[in-house]
Amino acid sequence: MIRSYRDKTPTIGEGSYIDETAVVIGDVKLGKNCSVWPLTVIRGDINKIRIGDDTNIQDGSVLHVTHRGEYSPEGAELHIGDQVTIGHKALLHGCRIGNQCLIGMGSIITDNAVVEDRVIVGSGSLVPPGKTLASGYLYLGNPVVRKRPLGEREIEYLTYVSDHYILLKDDYRGR
């Protein structure tokens, strides 16, 4: 379901798929060839959400932002790059995710955290407010810690899984 909030209506890129049980509200821009899977909520009601091309947001994920106000003058927008995989039931709140990342199932990434390009955040991990995860590493834990550099196959997998979800959403769209 795509809903306006105040004067903002989501913009959905060409070739993208949004499951009928997902909810996308407000100041949201979704790139081309993205997929938003069942029971996902993308709520850009109080600040903006920008999602790049070829990104998939899997079942039950929640994407939200922080409003501008006394305790957070700029608020916290949510930005997600290209070819990103957001695993089932992830919670992304007012953070920045680079290109070709995998955010593991059940992970939580909080306000003003930055995940640079080509990062894997392991399932169930917590990224605290304001923390930066450097490019090219695997991070795990609550709170996350850098475990090791990504191997060549893992870096290739980041593109592979994005491509897989493009094919899957095309199948769901009946193409």
Q: What is the CATH number of the domain that holds 57?
A: 2.160.10.10
pLDDT number for residue 80: 98
pLDDT number for residue 73: 87
Domain that holds residue 32: 2-172
Q: CA 82 to CA 162: how far, in whole Å?
A: 9
pLDDT number for residue 29: 98
CB 79 within 8 A of CB 50: yes
Please tell me whether the overall predicted TM-score, pTM, comes out greater than 0.75 for this model: yes
Taken in order 147, 135, 63, 93, is the CA torsion positive or negative?
positive
Query: To which H or E segment does residue 161 belong?
Result: helix 152-172
77-130 pLDDT, tens digit per residue, is: 999 999 999 999 999 999 999 999 999 999 999 999 999 999 999 999 999 999
Partners of 80 in the β-ladder = 51, 97
For the chain, the domain total comes to 1
Paired tokens of 10 = 């989501």
The CA angle 77-78-81, to the nearest 5 degrees, is 135
pLDDT number for residue 76: 95
115-168 pLDDT, tens digit per residue, is: 999 999 999 999 999 999 999 999 999 999 999 999 999 999 999 999 999 999
Paired tokens of 94 = 């007012």
Dump the DSSP string for 22-64: -EEEEEEEE-TT-EE-TT-EEEEEEEEEEE-TT-EE-TT-EEE
